[in-house]
Structure 1
């Protein structure tokens, strides 16, 4: 399977995708800017981000745009809005696949890739589709909630979908600078209760902070603003995770993606077996449907998780061997059944 080659490439590159997710206008892009300490990505008061943006480590700041036809063009931070925003690139009329940024942040060392995604649930369906299509590439997620809006049904459904891929999800309650201490406490308690009852997430930590206040403090060099934003509590936890737990999370994410690949193969074989007893025209229709499903699954599962060096070769070889043996045995049986039938 072509997908296994992609698994191997991802393992060898040692990337770890830390993806920022949430509904539209939760402050995801502002949070990323605050985390990196610079006004890198464009923000606005209307639903803005429309294209996935990958931020990797680099000694100097650079930006590249990759288009759907494979063409790559260099751009500047000042021109990013022309490609990644709904205003500058409505409904992705410029056929942008994604944007790559390089930035010298300590959070991006050792293969960590921070990823900004379009918010789901807005009137722009293409933005929601863009984010959902990227979920299979998630190794760990930072999920933003907003203190000025209760958790919605669509957010709960989105979290369930994220859980199929992400090995670890961090929760942030953003925009708490608008709340009193009492209201902040109530908002946190409500969010924890809903997540426990509706999604089954028990004993989770939700970090309350103000991304806007943190970004203002980072840009102006105002330590008091940074402290008041509560961002340092989250970054301390994140640094510990990246140092001590990233490897385990990467292994879990890789196993999830390997199971998805095996499930894709099994689904295909089951469809083929069921096809043996149906009329020719229906058989052709089933084959077309199967091919479409495979294409969609492969598009959704292009990347795979990072794994420790000692585990890379073993995991890949075992998975490839098991699938090859299973596929060969099933192919022989299918051919025999077809020969007997016709």
Structure 2
């Protein structure tokens, strides 16, 4: 068996190291997926894993109308992507290998939709209203086609460079971080602008050396070699390979099977360069490792602020308060017991509110003391009943006054005549004092008569409206009992809601346990592998990795024991406990007309003189 060369062995080692790193990142992603707080960071880790686990990604970058789309079409040997000079590509398009041709649209919110390949125009260059609406929510699209080149590499047809701040062309930094190689496409005869050169300088700070592709070498009368020399002088060691091609001639040659034209187009050299770059496994390993180091720094920043931000603060405070204060739950139980006793006493009082009411006077006393027994109907009846009883009292007082005055008349008459008082009285037996007393008696009799008229009027009202008001009072008492039941239900609901909130706090706190698990996994599985493995990273980067993971692990989120001790018991159902309805039946008011009528002395007779 032939032994592998040193270069082959190095490549195999790089593949092994990269695969081992990916195998460790996958369970880390699963662990972190349990926490929504680091959702975006977890999604970024998933993207690193997916990109590392697939073939290399090569990005074609450049300003408008330099031929990026045509160049990719020429590599694929078909006009798959629409090349429209008036409508450039509007969405970053990933071209991947697939046995069945289709499009996957990845939206900004993470949703993925699959389309037929015929919809490619709609998603990339169409300027219709519906296409614009779709693209507003798109992150990127993936086009799957069956082509041998795509078995080895994923190509990205990118949107055009935009003019950014400080005279520097702008392109999505997050997308550039994902790719393994960048092909910077320029148009022959149209040198890179100052904005583009500034972006090239910026890419150098990210350790990215794009390869310069000079497209349209057939379209300019200028010397291609001279153009290359001029561009190389501008970029120096900031760029990688330099290659001139004619994408249009390459497409034309494939249509006409013109071999010489295909060779002259130099497209085969670009294909060879792509395959050669794909074979550089160490670079891919280096790239993935760099991405993970940057990701670790992002994770560190997020984890370090967890203990100082919501929802962690509220979750921890509420769980610790419930768990640490042994008197807290007891005091709540005592409070609930007092409230419950109060409700039961009130329910019992209301259910027996009419138990001892047997007269109108007793009813009026209840109405004066229990405000829940009042409404407009009851208050009108109460007003008339009070007037009725007042007039009865006045009549009785007048009647007593009349009796006393009559008694004095009898005594005086007997003293004067020696005979008992009888009527009629002879004129010769009457003195002025007796006449005066008779006038006084008649005056009182007249007042009694007037009062009696009032009494009869009010008595009619009180009697006729008794049963209507009585039914209403029973309704008001029943409503009050329902209100008390509602208040107990509200207390019941509040107690349950408090448990629900507490349980949600406990669940939220438990959600951070996966962060604790991730800390241990980083410390025990990831860090030794990066520090002791044959990864293409410097000693300074190893120190940075170790320091970052130690900072991540230094954040104390270990509250699992606290959560395990937490016993959130469901409160007893107060309504079931009390059974108000069965214990206390409402004793309704049941007066009759005779109960509300007062006993009234007979009207005195008028004394004729």
Call closer, same or farther: CA 1:44–1:119 in 2, change over 3 Å.
Answer: same
Call closer, same or farther: CA 1:129–1:159 in 2, change over 3 Å.
Answer: closer
Q: Counterparts of 1:146 and 1:177 in 2: how far apart (Å)?
A: 11
Q: Counterparts of 2:216 and 2:198 in 1: how far apart (Å)?
A: 22
Aligned to 2:529: 314
Deviations 1:253-287 (A, max 9, x none): 11221232233356668999xx9xxxxxxxxxxxx
SS at match of 1:207: strand
Aligned to 2:252: 216
Q: Which has the higher helix share?
A: 2
Call closer, same or farther: CA 1:269–1:119 in 2, change over 3 Å.
Answer: same
Q: Which has the higher strand share?
A: 1
Aligned to 2:283: 249
Instruction: Tell whether the 8 Å contact from 1:51 to 1:130 is kept in structure 2 after alignment.
Output: no
Q: Counterparts of 1:108 and 1:145 in 2: how far apart (Å)?
A: 23
Aligned to 1:152: 193
SS at match of 2:199: helix
Given the alignment of the two structures, is residue 258 of structure 1 paired with residue 295 of structure 2, yes or no?
no
Q: Tell me by how many angstroms 1:21 deviates.
A: 0.9
Q: Size of the alignment, in residue pairs? A: 282
Q: Tell me by how many angstroms 1:94 deviates.
A: 4.9
From 235, 250, 259, the equivalent of 1:195 is 235
TM-score for the superposition, normalised by structure 1:
0.70
Aligned to 1:205: 241
Q: How does 1:1-342 map to 2 (within 5 A)?
A: 2-3=41-42, 5-6=45-46, 9-10=49-50, 13-69=53-109, 70-77=111-118, 79-85=119-125, 87-88=127-128, 89-90=131-132, 93-110=135-152, 112-121=153-162, 131-163=172-204, 169-180=210-221, 183-196=223-236, 200-201=237-238, 204-242=240-278, 244-245=279-280, 247-265=281-299, 314-315=529-530, 323-329=548-554
Deviations 1:290-314 (A, max 9, x none): xxxxxxxxxxxxxxxxxxxxx9993
Instruction: Please identify, of 132-141 and 45-54, the stretch whose mean Cα deviation from structure 2 is larger.
Output: 132-141
SS at match of 1:178: coil
Q: Tell me by how many angstroms 1:93 deviates.
A: 4.9
Call closer, same or farther: CA 1:33–1:321 in 2, change over 3 Å.
Answer: same
The structure number with the bigger radius of gyration is 2
Q: Tell me by how many angstroms 1:103 deviates.
A: 1.7
Q: Tell me by how many angstroms 1:160 deviates.
A: 3.2
- Relative contact order, CA 8 A, sep 6+: which one is greater? 1
TM-score for the superposition, normalised by structure 2:
0.41
SS at match of 2:552: helix
Where in structure 1 are there 5+ consecutive unaligned residues?
276-310, 333-342
Q: Counterparts of 1:170 and 1:312 in 2: how far apart (Å)?
A: 33
SS at match of 2:123: helix
Q: Counterparts of 2:49 and 2:84 in 1: how far apart (Å)?
A: 37
Q: Counterparts of 2:257 and 2:146 in 1: how far apart (Å)?
A: 18
